[in-house]
Amino acid sequence: MRKRKRTGWRRYVNGITISTTVTVLFVTLPLYLMLASSFKGAKGIGSAAFYPKDFSTSNYNNAFSQYTFARYILNSVLIAVITTALVLFLSTMAGYALGRLPMRAKLPVMVALLMISVFPAIAVIAPLFLLMKTIHWLNSYQALIVPYTAFNLPFAIWIMRNYMLGIPKEMEETSRIDGAGPLRTLWSIVLPQAKPGLFTAGIFTFTACWTEFLMALSFNSDNNFRTIPVGTALFGSPFTIPYGTIFAASMVAVVPIAILVLIFRKSVVSGLTAGAVKG
């Protein structure tokens, strides 16, 4: 087939570039407006200007000086990191067992996990709250770490299991013949090859913990245990909403996630498409 070569402006203005631009703008514009507004002064905050006319960093200062934003960051980091570590450890073990080891009732387990992962969190908030109250876990780190781990595990297990399935069985058999036990095989042979799966599951879990609002609001009312989303939402007083400070805090909250995704983006993409085509 003869392909017509586009020249001049036609090279850039075509269906694909236009639709790509629209999509990218659609996604990034709110983020940009948030960024721009976070640098606006008190006067400019109400305007819809695309750039801050009265550039100031006071919003950022306020977030840290007027509110305990640093504490929220610390709480969020602690909870997200511990949860992610737990989820990765457990999902690796479970994924290996479900993908590789001889085991009865694999299918029912996998289906049950899938069902749990689509269960709406709001449905379990009330009973969970009562449970937390009974065991005196309200206002603690574990009040969020344990349910976050439970809610993020199913998806992570599915990702890890699918990854394990993609690793040739002969590799584990070779390792067994070489004299490695199951745990050594998992650690030295399987895990290094399942890295993209680990990154994918890790980033999804971390992001989910980082942005979770409902449980964090319900279980931890003590300011010392609040995470970024709840803490930021409660900025201000009943009569004023400090939009600029909220924007600034939100920008700070986005940074770790953005960095993680930038570092691991290749692995995440390959993790999501694992098994789509035989490599």
Partner 1 sequence: MATVELESVRKVYPNGFEAVHGIDLEIADGELMVLVGPSGCGKTTVLRMIAGLEDISAGVLRIGEKVVNDLGPKERDIAMVFQNYALYPHMTVAENIGFALRLRKMPKDEVTRKVGDAAKILGLTPWLDRKPAQLSGGQRQRVAMGRAIVRNPSVFLMDEPLSNLDAKLRVQMRAEVSQIQRTVGVATVYVTHDQIEAMTMGDRVAVMREGVLQQCDTPQKLYDHPNNVFVAAFIGSPAMNLYEAAITDGCAAVRIGTQELPLPDRARAAHPGLAAYAGKPVIVGIRPESLPAANGSAAGVMTAQVELVEALGSELQVHFSIDAKRVIAEGPSDADELTTSGAGVARVGPHVPAKLGDPIRFAVDIDAMHFFDPDSGGAIWN
Residues that bind partner 1 (CB under 8 A): 168, 170-171, 173-180, 184, 188-189, 192-193
As a 3-state breakdown, the chain gives helix, strand, coil percent values, each rounded to 5, of: 75, 0, 25
Nearest to 99 by CA among 51, 168, 52: 168
Q: How far is the CB of 172 from partner 1 (least distance, A)?
A: 9
Whole-angstrom Cα distance, residue 247 to residue 39? 9
DSSP state for residue 44 in the 8-state scheme: G
Q: Which is nearer to partner 1, 153 or 164 (CB)?
A: 164
Q: Which is nearer to partner 1, 112 or 183 (CB)?
A: 183
Q: How far is the CB of 103 from partner 1 (least distance, A)?
A: 14
Q: Which is nearer to partner 1, 124 or 180 (CB)?
A: 180
Q: Which is nearer to partner 1, 83 or 175 (CB)?
A: 175
Q: Which is nearer to partner 1, 145 or 194 (CB)?
A: 194
Q: How far is the CB of 93 from partner 1 (least distance, A)?
A: 20
Nearest to 92 by CA among 165, 194, 172: 194
Whole-angstrom Cα distance, residue 147 to residue 185? 31
Residue 90 CB partners (closer than 8 Å, separation 6+): 149, 153, 156, 157
SS3 81: helix
Q: How far is the CB of 195 from partner 1 (least distance, A)?
A: 8
Whole-angstrom Cα distance, residue 80 to residue 76? 6
Whole-angstrom Cα distance, residue 251 to residue 255? 7
Q: Which is nearer to partner 1, 55 or 187 (CB)?
A: 187
Q: How far is the CB of 186 from partner 1 (least distance, A)?
A: 13
Q: How far is the CB of 275 from partner 1 (least distance, A)?
A: 17
Q: Which helix (H) or strand (E) holds 74?
A: helix 69-99
